[in-house]
Structure 1
Amino acid sequence: MATTLCGLAVAAGPPGAVAAPGADAAVPAPTATTAPAADCPAQPWVGGFRLATSVAPDDTRTSTVLHPEVAGPKMQCGAEETTLRKDVTYATVPGAGGQPRELKLDVLAPTTGGPRPLVVFLPGGGFVTANKSSSLGRRTHLAEQGYVVVSIEYRTTRDEATYVDGVADAKAAIRFLRAHAAAYGINPSEVAVFGESAGGYLASMVGVTGGVRKFDAGAHLDQSSRVRAVVNWYGPSDLAKLAADFDPVTRATHEDSTDSAAVKYVLGPNDPTRLQDAPAAVAAADPATYAGPGDAAFVLFHGTDDRVISPSQTVLLHHALAARGVPTARFAVKDAGHGPVVPEGNASGRMWDTQRVMRHVTGFLRWQLH
């Protein structure tokens, strides 16, 4: 059975329509429909964040500054046929208390042509949640440009997980999709990752750890987890400096914390240490540590009025990548906040779904994925 949503045919079959990793199972082919082109649906932000009261001016000397209008033309959905297949299990891993946890993904793809380049989407959620249903409009827009777009769950602090687990989950999904490339119409040699916020951080880690064995675990180890391109929207890098650009109260709150999600995602659920006092662990969790020639090309985006993740986080990574010979570009979105997370009464969250911003994403992907 399929239902229609903004030009999508949504396959509502039971979980396990594609078997667990390693199994050879038939993949049902849902029917597809087309709706008139229209603005892509907005996605509500799930999760609560304390916003800083002020943010220092962004260092844009090595960035391109974008000035999208809040009311500017929005990205479009519905002009092309796409299908959405939900709740495919890609791995079974230890969750909270060591209990088995099935990780699932949603596959959004054009109905014609192929094989297509793959974009693996990593949702945000502050290292606490990873809702694969988020940003449907953005994913639909990308699929209509000719990509197989796969949104995944990954482990967070609710699973008593650390960044090592989150990166391993993203890589397990990439290997699973390469192993089942024919079933999903994927070109396995053309793979990118696109992450927002915490997902942007994990996307960056995936992009620079193609040869780091500790992050590859689980099934399909005969498949590569390397990617060709990384799109990072307002993701952190040096997790001890998340609040470096913020007002003194917010900065002190972050720096003095021993139980924040960032602390737990670096050090584990039971370590009562501040990140400021664990420089080796912070460095091991920083994508800049692993960057080098041959890594994926990067494009980084950050709002200059981001009150959740300091804009300097992507500046630090951008400069580190460039210094290590990694192709990189950074876009500063003038006056934009942390995606839809903005101060009350501020409509700048709408900037992220404008054609002016999204065309830089699609242009980068066209350039990197042939």
Structure 2
Amino acid sequence: MKTARAVRQLKMTVLVPRTNDLKPAIVYFPGGRFISADYEKFTEMRVALAQAGFVVAAAEYRVVPDKFPSLVEDGKAAVRYLREHAGEYGIDPARIGVIGDSAGGYVAQMLGMTNGERAFDKGAFLDKSSDVEAAVTLYGISDLRSIGEGFPDAVQKVHQSPAVTEALLLNGPAFGTFVGASIGSDPGKALAASPLGHVEGSKPPFLIMHGTADTLVSPMQSAHLYEALKAGQNKVDYILVEGAGHGDLHWYQAPVIDRVVNWFRQSLGEPIRGAAKATNRDANL
């Protein structure tokens, strides 16, 4: 009999508007270079969404040294958790969206692009769907094979290393007789672990945003995702933020935040007034 020896509880915070309305929900996944998941950051965006009437969860997920697909499994588990507890939070389980930045954008993209797939559904509440009804990605990663596309040769060399974080996410670290492997050592494996490896079938509405001055994740990542979604006749909006870098102050300002809030309103709809059943848990929030 196998015994689980490395199980740990992942954490989530939930902002719940003080109303009895039946509310759409949004799960935020933080960026962190695949090595951290500081789920309580991006307060400005999360609070603005909650003030607009959304239940907003911020979810931790496993990072390196855990390997793919652990972070995607965790993202889907967070969605299933909200559907399981929809009554407690006043959530409309038919209207759940996701948002993420950088590596968190990768997670949000993977959830949207794998709607209908069940290979990544692991853990609890498997009777609930992990599909999402809307996805927002901010300077996210859509193809693990080409994060540095168009960047200088020195940057390209970093992304060819078996020690770069996307290679560790996919292949793990060198140990024993394993010398490590670059992301390019198995392009098919890397594509299957990327949002762009899951382009078949219909997708939920997407909002893709990227900064023109991003020097860490190539803006081409977002361009390729947009092109793939358009080619599949999916609903997608693509916005390049002029002069914005990777996670810099541009992303915490009203023009970006308001655009995201309004897009979610259009994609998920407004709360249904007075339709939710009040609970003691809601009353205490």
Q: Which residue matches 1:230?
A: 135
In the alignment, is the contact (CA less than 8 A) between 1:117 and 1:191 conserved in 2?
A: yes
Q: Per-residue deviation at 1:122?
A: 0.3
Does the aligned pair in 2 maintain the 1:292–1:321 contact within 8 Å? no
Contact 2:77–2:123 (CA under 8 A) maintained in structure 1: yes
Once residues 111 and 260 of structure 2 are traced to their aligned partners in structure 1, the CA distance between those partners, rounded to angstroms, is 18
Q: Within 5 A, what are the aligned runs for 1:112-191?
A: 112-157=19-64, 160-191=65-96
Greater strand proportion: 1
Q: Which residue of 2 aligns with 1:316?
A: 224
- From the superposition, tell whether residues 368 and 152 of structure 1 become closer, same or farther in structure 2 (CA, over 3 Å): same
**2:262 maps to 1:353:** no
Instruction: Say which SS state the counterpart of residue 102 (structure 1) adopts.
Output: coil
Residue 274 of structure 2 is matched in structure 1 by: none
Match of 2:197 in 1: 289
User: Which portions of structure 1, spanning 4 or more consecutive aligned residues, are displaced by more than 6 angstroms?
Assistant: none
Distance 2:200 2:131 in 1: 14
Post-superposition shift, 1:175? Answer: 0.5
Instruction: Give matches, 1:180-329, under 5 Å.
Output: 180-255=85-160, 257-270=161-174, 272-329=180-237
Q: Partner amino acid for 1:252? A: K
CA drift at 1:150: 0.1
SS at match of 1:101: coil
Q: Distance in 1 between matches of 2:261 and 2:47?
A: 12
Is the CA contact 2:211–2:242 (under 8 Å) kept in the aligned structure 1? yes
**Which one has the bigger helix percentage?**
2
Question: What are the residue-to-residue correspondences of 1:5-154 with 2, within 5 Å?
Answer: 98-154=5-61
- Check conservation: 1:292, 1:325, Cα contact below 8 A: no
Is the Cα–Cα contact under 8 Å of residues 191 and 228 in structure 1 kept in the other structure? Answer: yes
Compute the TM-score of the two structures, normalised by the length of structure 2: 0.88
What do the CA deviations read for 1:230-251 (whole angstroms, capped 9, x no partner)? 0000011111211112111111
- SS of structure 1 residue aligned to 2:119: helix
Q: Which has the higher contact order (CA 8 A, sep 6+)?
A: 2
TM-score (norm 1): 0.69
Q: Distance in 2 between matches of 1:163 and 1:366?
A: 32
Is residue 158–residue 164 contact of structure 2 (8 Å, CA) maintained in 1?
A: no
CA distance in 2, matches of 1:313, 1:228: 22
Aligned with residue 363 of structure 1, among 245, 257, 262: 262
Equivalent-residue separation in structure 1 for 2:44 and 2:258 (angstroms): 14
Distance 1:241 1:177 in 2: 33
Matches of 1:335 and 1:274 in 2, distance apart?
Answer: 31
Unaligned runs of 5+ in 2: 270-285
CA distance in 1, matches of 2:209, 2:73: 24
Q: Distance in 1 between matches of 2:268 and 2:79?
A: 15
Q: Distance in 1 between matches of 2:184 and 2:202?
A: 31
Alpha-carbon RMSD across the aligned residues, in angstroms, is: 1.3
Q: How much has 1:268 moved relative to structure 2?
A: 2.9
**TM-fit CA distance, 1:195:** 0.4
Instruction: Confirm or deny: 8 A CA contact 1:293 1:325 kept in the other structure.
Output: no
Q: CA deviation at 1:329?
A: 1.4
Q: Is the 8 A contact 1:105 1:150 kept in 2?
A: yes
C-alpha distance in 2, partners of 1:182/1:144? 20
SS at match of 2:9: strand
Residue 253 of structure 2 aligns with an amino acid whose one-letter code is T
User: Offset of 1:269 from its aligned partner?
Assistant: 3.5
Q: Is the 8 A contact 1:300 1:330 kept in 2?
A: yes
Separation in 1, partners of 2:78, 2:113:
16
